[in-house]
Structure 1
Amino acid sequence: MNWSWLGPPMDVRPLFPVERGAFLDLLNTLTAEDWERATVCPGWAVRDIAGHVLHDQVRRLSADRDGHPGPAFEPGEALPGYLARTNEDFVRTARQLSPRLLVGLLDRLGQELDAMWAGRDLHAPAGLDVSWADPGAPAPTWLDVAREYTEYWVHQQQIRDAVGRPGADGPRLLRPVIDAFLRALPHTLRDAAAAPGTAVTVTVPGPAGGRWTAVRGAERWGLAPAVPDGGRAAAEVELAADTLWRLASRGIEPAVARTRARLRGDEALTGAVLDIVSIIR
């Protein structure tokens, strides 16, 4: 399959144990009060986000490694509703786990996931889609794996925000999140009217950032190494790394991101960029 329009493949597998190590170190320093602090996720305390990460691990190992079917969809239930329901069910159950047991399970199952990912062909179809990048079509395994990495990293940051402990956001761990999230750019622009060859750039300053360019092709938008023929993009958006990941994961809304952004060019296109969503919702 041709996935070139999604940009060059990325391999985040070496970063899973690094990100997880920072996460476990954080959890091991939390007080009893910290575990109960409210988070940005409505109705979930810190312990609930940690339980949700455990659910992500369990679900991946059970389904992808062991071929075990998960809970059935209810009649008429769409994927976002299904995920919300099954996530909440598991989180309620995980409230029975002590912090020590929860941390131990996250460590053990994370290592099992590392072994599973190590055996995968990153260039093969993943067998499922990445709905915020190309809904309804098999995704390349490298993008599916990158999506999982962003899931764990964002949840770690949500806990850090809740307990007032910054960290794990240096360039090594953050840049792959920015890069993965911006693979949603072609899908984000799908309804934007533009002539073939029209380019849109997103610049994220700093060591965790870079420049991403989407170009309108004959049939769809796609990521490209640069603006064609050395020209200038029809629309340019500049966002700080912290703003970009929060926007793409809907920790902040587009209206807030707009107040923090530098915009130039076609207003319809810059507005479309600020609608980027790189999670299932």
Structure 2
Amino acid sequence: MTVTAVDEIAPTTRTEARVLARTEYERLADQLRSLTAQDWRRPTDCPGWDVRAVAGHCVGMLSDFSSYRSMIRRVRAAEKAAARDGGPMVDSMTALQVSEYAPLSVEQLIDRVDEHGPKAARWRTRVPFPLRAMPMKEEVGGRPETWRLGFLLDTILTRDPWMHRVDIARATGHDLVLTADHDGRIVAGVVAEWARRHGRPFELELTGPAGGRFVAGAGDRERLHLDAVEFCRILSERAPGSGLLAQPVPF
């Protein structure tokens, strides 16, 4: 397995971000099509959400970010709900998505992914620079930080359904579709961000189709060896981590 220096992992271009997003939405739709009636009621790693709620959130998120009008409508509603309830805006946003899409049938949910997925992938990567540069307040690992909207559009909105595909696969026991060109690229981006956030030397071997070997820094490196999907589950705080794995990454 080739060893990749973390500082050689190229940033995702807009063109690549569009391809990754479109592929991710296609895989989400295929996964939802494979579920049984019982699968939709199974609990997931997301507190309080079963598979149906996770799917509703995913459909809501991709629909919300498929046009200026839908994005502004959802952000305003979430800000109003957060001000009323006193919680983080993102929590209000996801709760609204789950609630709004709860009345849809399974077939309607999947149709929404098929219909809005390509539109969202295209729109997200065509947003002009002035809007992409807009700052936004978020929280990672309990600490406040400021993102640019472009980071949300190009990266987080693809990592989010990717991780929820993991949640659904774990909940239902179905196989998770993973390939090096798609999932491996997403995981490599996570590795690069994780490395920037903690800034310490390491040797990392991630197993599975989405895995790879990565190295950063010199001297006394911490050596880590684990499954690529489990690595992401830990960094997303779905599973406990220690040492460098205690450094969270947003999904």
Q: Same fold (TM over 0.5)?
A: yes
User: Quick check: 2:18–2:122 contact (8 Å CA) kept in 1?
Assistant: no
**Partner of residue 97 from structure 1, selected from 104, 107, 113:** 104
Shift of 1:62: 4.9
On the 8 A contact 1:188/1:277 being kept in 2, the answer is: no
Q: Indicate the residue corresponding to 1:202 in structure 2.
A: 204
Using a 3 Å threshold, how does the CA distance of structure 1 residues 127 and 37 change in structure 2: closer, same or farther? same
The answer as to whether partners of 1:51 and 1:95 remain within 8 angstroms in 2 is yes
Check 1:28–1:206 CA distance in 2 against 1; reply closer, same or farther (3 A cut).
closer
Alpha-carbon shift at residue 36 of structure 1 (Å): 1.4
User: In structure 2, what is the equivalent of residue 53 of structure 1?
Assistant: 58
| Residue equivalent to 1:147 | 156
Q: How does 1:83-122 map to 2 (within 5 A)?
A: 83-120=90-127
1:2-81 to 2 correspondence within 5 Å? 8-10=10-12, 11-63=16-68, 67-68=72-73, 69-71=75-77, 72=79, 73-74=82-83, 77=86, 81=88
Which moved further from structure 2: 157-166 or 112-121? 112-121
Q: Is the 8 A contact 1:65 1:116 kept in 2?
A: no
Q: Cα RMSD (Å) of the superposition?
A: 3.4
Larger-gyration structure (1/2): 1
2:197 maps to which residue?
187
**1:241 is aligned to 2:228:** yes
C-alpha change, 1:135 and 1:61, in structure 2 (3 Å) is farther
SS in 2 for 1:32: coil
Alignment partners' CA distance in 2, 1:168 and 1:246: 16
Partner of 1:250: 237
Q: Runs of 5+ in structure 1 lacking a partner?
A: 190-197, 215-226, 256-270
Select the structure with the greater relative contact order (CA < 8 A; seq sep ≥ 6): 2
Comparing 148-157 with 8-17, greater Cα deviation is found at 8-17
Counterpart secondary structure, 2:182? helix
Structure 2 contact 29–114 (Cα < 8 Å) conserved = yes
User: What residue in structure 1 maps to residue 3 of structure 2?
Assistant: none
Q: Is the 8 A contact 2:63 2:120 kept in 1?
A: no
Change (3 A) 1:201 1:64: farther
Which stretches in structure 2 are left out of the alignment for 5+ residues?
Answer: 1-6
CA distance in 2, matches of 1:64, 1:145: 19
Q: CA deviation at 1:117?
A: 3.2
The residue correspondences of 1:118-137 to structure 2 (distance < 5 A) are 118-120=125-127, 125-128=132-135, 132=140, 136-137=145-146
Aligned length: 235
Aligned to 2:4: none
Contact 1:203 1:210 in 2 (8 A): yes
